[in-house]
Every structure is written in C-alpha cells, then in structure tokens.
Amino acid sequence: MALTREQALKIVNDERDYQDTTFDPNKVTSSGLTRAERDKECAVGIMMLSTYVRKAEDAWTNDRKADSLPALQQVAKIAAIAVRILERAGESGRLLTEGLR
C-alpha cells in the first residue's frame, strides 16, 4: 500500500520533530557556530542530503529480502532534512516571492 500525500507529510513532520528534539540548535559546533547559525547557510544541509542519499542507495543495493523499507526510511529522512534546510536557510523566504522557477 502506498502512502497518501497527507500520510507522507506526517511522517516527514514527525521526523522534523525528532530532529528538533534530538539536535539542540544552540549547541556550538566545531566551527564555533551554533547549529542554528550554521544552518543559515544551506551547504551543510546539502552535504547531509548527499550522505543520506548514499545511505538510501546502500539500503536499496544491499536489499536481499526484497524489502524496500530501509531505503524508504532514508528517503523520509532526506525529505525531512530538505524541509529543515528550507526552514532554516537565511534566504529561503525569497522562495515565497520568486518561486522555484
């Protein structure tokens, strides 16, 4: 059974809630910036997307049981990371006026 859009978005929102409770935005990173300050730049988030895409690829490639759940779990994390980038990146608000194209 495939998910509805509403179900998929709920999974992504639940993951975003998890991220916010697990990763303190006020924690200072090795760069000296807090996570919140660091996240104003989208580059770190893009690197995370790349990492989780690799995890999804590995899960799919190593699927010996014909069970795509591990890959789909990574895909949901990818979607939540992308949402976090949009929420926190310094210029993301411009998307409201300039759109995607």
Q: Does the pLDDT of residue 4 top 90, yes or no?
A: yes
Residue 93: predicted pLDDT: 95
Rounded CA-CA distance 61/65 in Å is 11
Q: What is the mean pLDDT of residues 35-58?
A: 94
Residue 63 pLDDT > 90, yes or no? no
Residue 24 has pLDDT above 90, yes or no: no
Average pLDDT, the chain: 94
Beta bridge partners of 43: none
The more confident residue out of 32 and 25 is 32
Q: State the average pLDDT over residues 30-49.
A: 93
Output the CA–CA distances (angstroms, integers) from residue 93 to 11, 71, 89, in the order listed.
Answer: 24, 31, 8
pLDDT recorded at residue 58: 96
